[in-house]
């Protein structure tokens, strides 16, 4: 069985213009993507998250008008997901699914206002941490690793 070790690290000063470039470079083996499902799952407890962060100056406006925004902490150690769309039951179900999954989330993010990087950049591996200020609509993910190493195989 052919095996290939892949190492992705936050220290690399590489950005990717398209998500397809990332999938091809890191998550394709023998011409086929190894990502499965709508949540880009690699395995039972690992998935990839491609994020388009909200422009920093528009976060409050997006939360108020769109009821949805994904944005990082200044040090990139946390990612906040504000999602007040859907019924109360749907919001509770989203929270419970994240809480029970214990996924390692490999994050590639693009900053819409380009204040940090142009294009998608690997930020690290994150885990769901919980909610902010007891609000099920405001969730936080915390960085647990700066590097991700895995082996791709047939």
Tens digits of per-residue pLDDT, 26-48?
Answer: 998 888 898 999 899 998 999 99
DSSP state of 56: G
pLDDT at 1: 44
Q: What is the pLDDT of residue 83?
A: 93
Average pLDDT, the chain: 88
CA distance 9 to 27: 15
| Total Cβ atoms within 10 A of residue 99 | 13
Q: Does 146 have pLDDT greater than 50?
A: yes
- CB 148, CB 90: distance < 8 Å: no
Q: Considering the chain, what percentage of its residues have pLDDT values greater than 90?
A: 55
Task: Catalogue the E-assigned strands of 56-146.
Answer: 68-72, 78-83, 104-111, 120-132, 135-145
| Residues 80-119: tens digit of each pLDDT | 999 998 899 998 998 998 888 889 999 999 987 666 667 8
Using alpha carbons, list the distances in angstroms from residue 118 to 20, 34, 54, 121. 16, 26, 14, 8
Structure letter (DSSP) for residue 54: P
């Amino acid at each position: 069985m052919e095996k290939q070790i892949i190492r992705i690290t936050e220290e690399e000063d590489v950005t990717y213009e398209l998500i397809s470039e990332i999938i091809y470079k890191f998550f394709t083996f023998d011409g086929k993507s190894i990502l499965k499902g709508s949540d880009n799952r690699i395995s039972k407890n690992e998935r990839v998250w491609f994020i388009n962060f909200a422009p920093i100056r528009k976060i409050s406006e997006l939360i108020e008008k769109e009821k949805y925004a994904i944005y990082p902490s200044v040090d990139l150690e946390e990612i906040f997901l504000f999602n007040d769309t859907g019924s109360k039951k749907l919001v509770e179900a989203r929270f419970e699914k994240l809480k029970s999954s214990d996924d390692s989330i490999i994050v590639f993010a693009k900053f819409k206002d380009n204040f940090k990087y142009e294009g998608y950049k690997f930020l690290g591996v994150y885990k769901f941490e919980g909610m902010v200020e007891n609000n099920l609509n405001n969730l936080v993910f915390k960085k647990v690793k700066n590097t991700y190493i895995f082996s791709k195989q047939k």
